[in-house]
Amino acid sequence: MTKKDASPSHTNIRTQASKQALRSRHVTMITLGGIIGASLFVGSGNMIRNAGPAAVVSYALGGVLVFLAMRMLGEMAAARPAIGSFMEYAREGLGDWAAYLVGWLYWYFWVGVLAYEAILGGETLHEWLPIIPSIGWSMLLIAFFVGINLFSVRFFGEVEFWLASIKVAAIVVFLGGGTLYALGLWPDSEFSLSNLWAHGGFAPNGLGVAFSGVAIVIFSYFGTEIAVMASAESEDPATGVRRATSTVIWRILLFFVGSIVVICAVVPWNELPEPTSVATAPFTYVFALLGMPGASAIMQMVIFTAVVSVLNSGLYSASRMLASLGDQGLAPQIVARRSKSNVPVYALLASISGAIIATIANYVAPQSGVFDFIMNSAGLVALFVYVFIALTQMRMRQKMSPEQVAGLKLKVWLHPWLNILLIAGVAAILLVMLASESGRTQAWTSLIATAVLVVFWPLVRKSLARKRATAQEETPNESAMLVR
């Protein structure tokens, strides 16, 4: 083992020897838990009402872009499973500046998600038990899941496994029952696949709406990259990475695209109610057609589970990314410290502190615009991350010898053309966002947040140079390997 392999950033060296390492089933459900949320159960209704059955195209195209990004990430992670963060691949492939930008942007994104999920969960609990105000429930939820994450990574994985299992079970039942209903094989149903084209055509509002819808649905898929960080803390990182990046994405595509097909086949798109609440969500509507008693109450429980599941996995993602930044000297060193159970305690507390500030701002000063700015300015992070992944994989492949390329256990096809396709797809989505009012707001606020990070980069670079110079004086050989 080289000195470089023994550095703090390579967390799997510790976790493989630890009884707290995640198991394969944990990694799978953590990945699913980080992505399946209210955007699928409720938000998909708006997409279908706008694009008609052609919403399937929006979700399919968005899924293809995510699949390509995951394949590229999978190639890098399978070759270097010990690293544990795509931020660190960016550092190796593109340099410290790329790691700094993508790492902090990704962390910033999850701070916004944590605040959003805490608010949504708090409001849901307030509806059930109004004796405690929404902000009180939000804070209790945050405290509860911080406690879970602080305990150990294995305990976090076990909790997330069961939370995500509820969502997955609901979708499996939905897909099975909805398919039988659309085929006329369900009691009191009739063959209704014609709903996919009978009401104004497959694309009643034009395919342009479906293509522009990719800019909306692409953010529903964001979170799949959690698989790499979770795999690095698993019992078998190399196997976990290959399985997660190769198989989980297919399951996600099945759940998202399959659900949209079922909804459009069961219900004429122009008869779908506006999803203003759980009661009018498309999943609730279809379950009611299936004759499921208490469909609204059941879906409310499922969606609440989805919310807290994303909150739980988001805490994990944000803390691990911030800890990785600390490992590389791109964040204060204190956030890199880990407990005996390998939990980055200070990174976790720093991450949730940002979410608490955003949550309080939403409740106490909703007109201040602080919460709205945080949510909007994180809008382009997914696109930035995908571009960095594509560029990093291209650069790292260029550095490899023909023998190393031939020995890859997981490989990107048609390299580098699929990388170019992914980057072009992201550029197209950005143009679509700039052409719409809501998308334009997200684009410009995201660019402002990025510009702030760019302004601070020279200071971080000087600090990093000083740390490396000091390390070189103390341990010249080890420092030389780090710089290289």
* Spatial separation of the C-alpha atoms in residues 106 and 172, rounded to whole Å: 30
Beta bridge mates, 234: 22
Check residue 116 and give its pLDDT.
Answer: 85
Q: CA-CA distance, 190 to 50, in Å (whole number)? A: 26
Q: Is 355 left (phi over 0), alpha (psi -120 to 50) or beta?
A: alpha
Name 94's Cβ contacts closer than 8 Å, sequence gap at least 6. 388, 391, 392, 395
Is residue 461 a part of any domain in this protein?
A: no
Query: Tokens for 437?
Result: 């009012």
Domain containing 29 equals 12-454
| Assigned domain for 355 exists | yes
Q: Residue 174 CA to chain centroid, in angstroms? A: 23
pLDDT of residue 432: 84
Provide the H-helix boundaries in 183-225: 207-212, 214-217
Task: Give the CATH number for residue 47.
Answer: 1.20.1740.10
Total number of domains in the chain: 1
Per-residue pLDDT tens listing for the chain (484 residues): 333 344 444 444 343 334 567 777 888 787 777 778 778 888 888 899 989 999 999 999 988 888 888 889 888 887 776 555 788 889 988 999 999 999 999 998 888 888 888 988 888 899 899 999 999 999 999 999 999 999 888 888 899 889 989 988 999 999 999 999 999 999 988 999 999 998 999 999 988 888 888 877 887 888 777 877 877 777 777 676 777 767 767 877 888 999 999 999 999 999 998 887 777 889 989 999 998 888 888 888 988 998 898 899 889 989 999 999 999 899 998 999 998 888 899 999 999 998 898 888 888 877 766 666 766 666 678 888 889 999 999 999 998 888 888 888 888 888 899 999 999 999 988 888 888 776 788 788 888 888 999 999 999 999 898 888 887 776 655 544 444 4
Is 459 part of a structural domain of the chain? no
- Token representation of residue 235: 């019992």
- In this structure, is residue 6 part of a structural domain? no
Q: Is residue 81 part of a domain?
A: yes
Angle at 378 between CA 372 and CA 384, to 5 degrees: 160
Residue with tokens 């964040």: 331
Q: Is 22 helix (H, G, I), strand (E, B) or coil?
A: strand
pLDDT of residue 31: 76
Domain membership flag for residue 482: no
Does residue 469 form part of some domain? no
Nearest residue to 235 (alpha-carbon basis) of 389, 14, 424, 458: 14
Q: Tokens representing 246?
A: 């190769």
Which class for 130: exposed (0-12), middle (13-18), buried (19 or more C-beta within 10 A)? Answer: exposed
Cis peptide bond prior to 416, omega within 30° of 0: yes
Return the bridge partners of 22, or none. 234
